[in-house]
Amino acid sequence: MDGLKSRGKVIVIGATNIPNSLDPALRRPGRFDREIELGVPSKQGRMEILQIHTRGMPLAKDVELDKIAEITYGYVGADLNALCKEGAMHALRRVLPDMEAMREDKPIPQDVLKKLIVNKEDFEYALKMVEPSAMREVLIEIPKVKWDDIGGLESIKQELKEVVEWPLKRPESFTKLGIRPPVGVLIYGPPGCGKTLLAKAVANESGANFISVKGPELLSMWVGESEHHVRDVFRRAKQVAPCIIFFDEIDALVPRRSYGSESNVTERVVSQLLAEISGLEDLHDVVVIAATNRPDIIDPALLRPGRFDRQVLVPTPQEKSRYEILKVHTVNVPLTKDVDLKKLAQDTEGYSGADLEALVREAAINAMRRNLDADIVTNRDFAAALKYVKPSVTEDMNAFYESIMKKRKAQKIEEEVSYTG
Ligand code: ADP
């Protein structure tokens, strides 16, 4: 390429899906000096691609291409092509028995041809068969959890609505008032009390996509891989924005005291994470939520203003919340009249949401043990279950989380004072 002094009539176009593994010498000016990123198609792009691949297809009226374009996150052009083909094959299979003519080399009768129409059901089948290739490494989902599926925790729901749902749905209101919504939210509290559930619900209710990453998964032993993964997650999130990125067990990224390669990995991942988060500040359509049950060991760098600066404690449910949670989990469970959920809520001090769910399940299993055809769960079943399912949160644990919350509040005030001072 260096030999081509002036461009003349020869131009070199290279294509790759691993640009970062290329020899940097190739990417220098004078060689491949113009780089064009061809990303995963957006909704509009998918719509156009679908239109192209269904051009010659007899489509039934119930096929709504825009609906299909909407739900096919992460499908690239080749996937959409495969989707259309798979749908058509399904339609073909439906009329195949009528196609005796094909075997005898006669023209297909007109009435059979008329039946050869690709309908909605064919596409639904195809959607199950063809998987999006762009999502293989970063899985995007649209959670189904609603606020109503979470019992109690009213003030926390409200807080999440304000810091996550409002900025995603009404960014202009924030601009009008001249404030910047928080980019990162840290949810902490004892295990099984609904942190994941809350993150999913807020994604669903604000109509955002949801990418869930577990802290330990971010730590790969291959040099450079971990940062790569972090970058991929954020890039994907921006592509499918509005989006919520959920980092579960973020405490896995603790700064390790030991030396060796491992501590380097966490350090690099944390700094990559911070860089990506500060890159989000002006975007408003990607929110990062992290969850942990060890707020005490989190790298303090993550908690500074502009990062995970909104911290929400999800405590063990109190009696009223426990009652609400029991109601949520018994919605579809037939109960005898003597089952008193209020009384149960009183008797379950220290039970987390997950414990209460287990309690209901155990009671139902007890009912089945009595009689496999049982169609109702009685108070006796619950009494037996209470002996079996024990509370997982102790008094000490609660005190620990409370003390952390108090410390954080005090720190905040101190910071504010030092700002003004
Ligand atoms: P965490 O992320 O805090 O460890 P999860 O959100 O994964 O806990 O909760 C585990 C399970 O416990 C949930 O799938 C849900 O069934 C149940 N659960 C926890 N809290 C609640 C709640 N407030 N209302 C209803 N179910 C709950």
Residues with CB under 6 A from ligand 1: 150-153, 191-197, 291, 325, 328, 353-354, 357
Q: Closest ligand 1 atom to the C-alpha of 194?
A: 6
Paired with 311 in beta bridges are: 186
Multiple choice CATH, 147-315, 3.40.190.100, 1.20.58.340, 3.40.50.300, 3.40.109.10: 3.40.50.300
- Look at 164 and 70; give whichever has higher pLDDT: 164
Question: For position 222, what pLDDT does the model report?
Answer: 62
- Report how far residue 235's alpha carbon sits from residue 232's, in angstroms, rounded to the nearest whole number: 5
Prediction pTM value: 0.68
Query: 421: pLDDT confidence band, cut at 50, 70 and 90?
Result: very low
Q: What angle do CA 297, 298, 303 make, to 5 degrees?
A: 140
Which distant-in-sequence residues (6+ apart) come within 8 Å of 166 by Cβ?
A: 173, 174, 181
User: Average pLDDT for residues 153-173, to the nearest whole number?
Assistant: 89
Among 201-210, 280-289, 332-341, name the one with the lowest average pLDDT. 280-289
Give the residue range(s) of CATH 3.40.50.300 domains in the chain. Answer: 147-315
Question: For position 136, what pLDDT does the model report?
Answer: 57
Expressed in angstroms and rounded, the spacing between residue 377 Cα and the centre of ligand 1 is: 22
- Look at 30 and 53; give whichever has higher pLDDT: 53
Residue with CA at minimum distance from ligand 1 atom 7: 196
User: Average pLDDT for residues 224-245, to the nearest whole number?
Assistant: 82
Q: What is the pLDDT of residues 7-22, one digit of tens each?
A: 678 888 999 877 778 8
- Is the distance from CB of 212 to CB of 141 less than 8 angstroms? yes
Expressed in angstroms and rounded, the spacing between residue 351 Cα and the centre of ligand 1 is: 11
Looking at the predicted structure, is the pLDDT value of residue 179 above 90? no
Multiple choice CATH, 43-134, 3.30.565.10, 1.10.8.60, 1.10.1040.10, 3.30.70.20: 1.10.8.60
DSSP per-residue letters across 128-192:
HHPPPSTTSSS-EE-----GGGS-S-HHHHHHHIIIIIHHHH-HHHHHHHT----SEEEEE-STT
Expressed in angstroms and rounded, the spacing between residue 150 Cα and the centre of ligand 1 is: 8
Say if residue 147 is exposed, middle or buried (CB neighbours under 10 Å; 0-12, 13-18, 19+): middle
Mutation choice for ligand 1 from 357, 359, 361, CB with most ligand atoms inside 8 A:
357
Overall size of the chain counted in residues? 421
| Token pair in block for residue 331 | 């919605």
The highest-confidence range among 111-120, 208-217, 345-354, by mean pLDDT, is 345-354
Question: For position 101, what pLDDT does the model report?
Answer: 57
Question: For position 346, what pLDDT does the model report?
Answer: 94
Q: Closest ligand 1 atom to the C-alpha of 190?
A: 3
- Look at 95 and 354; give whichever has higher pLDDT: 354
Q: What is the pLDDT of residues 41-100, one digit of tens each?
A: 888 899 999 999 999 899 999 999 998 988 887 788 999 999 999 999 999 888 877 666
Expressed in angstroms and rounded, the spacing between residue 195 Cα and the centre of ligand 1 is: 7
Average pLDDT, the chain: 84
Which distant-in-sequence residues (6+ apart) come within 8 Å of 287 by Cβ?
A: 164, 167, 168, 183, 184, 185, 208, 243, 244, 245
- Report how far residue 191's alpha carbon sits from residue 242's, in angstroms, rounded to the nearest whole number: 28
Q: What is the pLDDT of residues 116-131, one digit of tens each?
A: 899 999 998 898 888 7
Q: Closest ligand 1 atom to the C-alpha of 187?
A: 3
Residue in 98, 91, 92 with CA at minimum distance from that of residue 112? 98
Mutation choice for ligand 1 from 155, 188, 197, CB with most ligand atoms inside 8 A:
197
Q: Closest ligand 1 atom to the C-alpha of 328?
A: 25
Q: What is the pLDDT of residues 293-341, one digit of tens each?
A: 888 888 888 888 888 888 899 999 999 999 999 999 999 999 999 999 9
Residue with the two structure tokens 């287990």: 358
Residue with CA at minimum distance from ligand 1 atom 12: 354
Expressed in angstroms and rounded, the spacing between residue 142 Cα and the centre of ligand 1 is: 18
Domain 319-388 has CATH 1.10.8.60: yes
Instruction: Report CA-CA distances (Å) from 188 to 133, 211, 251, 301, 409.
Output: 34, 19, 10, 17, 14
Residue with CA at minimum distance from ligand 1 atom 8: 192
Query: 280: pLDDT confidence band, cut at 50, 70 and 90?
Result: confident
Question: For position 224, what pLDDT does the model report?
Answer: 66
Give the residue range(s) of CATH 1.10.8.60 domains in the chain. Answer: 43-134, 319-388
Query: 420: pLDDT confidence band, cut at 50, 70 and 90?
Result: very low
Say if residue 128 is exposed, middle or buried (CB neighbours under 10 Å; 0-12, 13-18, 19+): exposed
Question: For position 202, what pLDDT does the model report?
Answer: 93
Residue in 251, 279, 288 with CA at minimum distance from that of residue 266? 251
Expressed in angstroms and rounded, the spacing between residue 407 Cα and the centre of ligand 1 is: 26
Residue in 133, 121, 27 with CA at minimum distance from that of residue 79? 133
Which distant-in-sequence residues (6+ apart) come within 8 Å of 297 by Cβ?
A: 251, 254
Expressed in angstroms and rounded, the spacing between residue 398 Cα and the centre of ligand 1 is: 17
- Is the distance from CB of 46 to CB of 80 less than 8 angstroms? yes
Question: For position 138, what pLDDT does the model report?
Answer: 65
Question: For position 304, what pLDDT does the model report?
Answer: 83
Looking at the predicted structure, is the pLDDT value of residue 258 above 90? no
Looking at the predicted structure, is the pLDDT value of residue 174 above 80? yes
- Is the distance from CB of 86 to CB of 130 less than 8 angstroms? yes
Residue with CA at minimum distance from ligand 1 atom 18: 353
Question: For position 380, what pLDDT does the model report?
Answer: 93
Report CA dihedral (381, 382, 388, 394) to the nearest 10 degrees.
180
Expressed in angstroms and rounded, the spacing between residue 263 Cα and the centre of ligand 1 is: 32
| Token pair in block for residue 11 | 């131009």
Expressed in angstroms and rounded, the spacing between residue 149 Cα and the centre of ligand 1 is: 10
